[in-house]
Amino acid sequence: MPLSDDEKLRYARQLGIPSWGEEAQARLGKATVFVAGAGGLGAPVLLYLAAAGVGHLRICDHDRVEMTNLNRQLLHNVERLGQPKVVSAARTVAALNPDIRVTPLDQSLTPENSEELIGDADLLIDCLDNLPARHALNRVAVRKGLPLVHGGIAGYQGQLAFLHPPHTACLACILPAGIDAEPVMVLGATAGVIGSMQALEGLKYLIGMGSSLLECMLFWDGRHQRFDHIRLRRSRHCRVCGGS
């Protein structure tokens, strides 16, 4: 399907980017992305994916909007306090780009429900704040061979990886099991940096550019504006992908 006149206008400033164009834009319009978490990382991820024209966003989060969220979770505001985050997120995203489809999923991600919640997504984005849900997401990524864009933040620092099992390590190869120490202290700008890069990696994959982060983890230290990469290796003893 060729782009409509409205779409050509909305996306005019990206259609002319080398390696983008109408074919890439149409491909984006057919894509479904599962975004796990509508908080600090989910905010820039959802805003940039919606603005760029990803056709269907499945947003999963079971939290309610609280005052302590508002230093970083720019999808929400004081008028939405107490609302489900997925409802607030869907409203913000729909106001930005009413042409895309949004499915709010007001549930916690667990090993039992993760496959059903993820549905027919082409790409998974990890904007979560807890290890059990991250591992539930990872198990589906490994089982279905889906790419997973991982992000994590604390304070002035963050990390980012593009995992595509079985071609790369999976999240269980590199993250421990267990339970996180809560709550993590973090600045909104840190979430903005890492979440924006997650969105960019996702968009590059969806239009067929691939990812420049295959087989490595990027670390960003905002105190010194320094980026580092470490090589990721698949663990032969991984309890999730080791036998595949």
Q: Report the nearest approach of Zn ion to the CB of residue 176 (Å).
A: 12
d(CA 210, CA 162): 10
Q: Report the nearest approach of Zn ion to the CB of residue 41 (Å).
A: 22
Q: Which 161-180 residues touch Zn ion, going by CB under 5 A?
A: 170, 172-173
Tokens for 135, please give them: 């591992």
d(CA 203, CA 205): 5
Find the part of the chain contacting Zn ion (CB under 5 A) among 7-15, 57-65, 106-114, 233-241: 233-241
Residue 162 and residue 211 in contact, taking contact as beta carbons nearer than 8 Å? yes
Q: Report the nearest approach of Zn ion to the CB of residue 174 (Å).
A: 8
Count of residues near Zn ion by CB under 5 A: 6
3-state secondary structure of 25: helix
Beta bridge partners of 220: 158, 227
**Residue 15 phi, psi dihedral angles, 5° rounding:** -60, -30
184 vs 230, beta carbon nearer Zn ion: 230
Residue 37 and residue 129 in contact, taking contact as beta carbons nearer than 8 Å? yes
Find the part of the chain contacting Zn ion (CB under 5 A) among 90-98, 201-209, 215-223, 235-243: 235-243
CA 210 to chain centre: 16
What track of x and - describes contact with Zn ion for positions 185 through 224 (by CB under 5 A)?
----------------------------------------
3-state secondary structure of 229: strand
238 interacts with Zn ion by CB under 5 A: yes
213 vs 240, beta carbon nearer Zn ion: 240
Q: Report the nearest approach of Zn ion to the CB of residue 92 (Å).
A: 34
Q: Which 27-56 residues touch Zn ion, going by CB under 5 A?
A: none
d(CA 211, CA 148): 11
Binding site for Zn ion (CB under 5 A): 170, 172-173, 238, 240-241
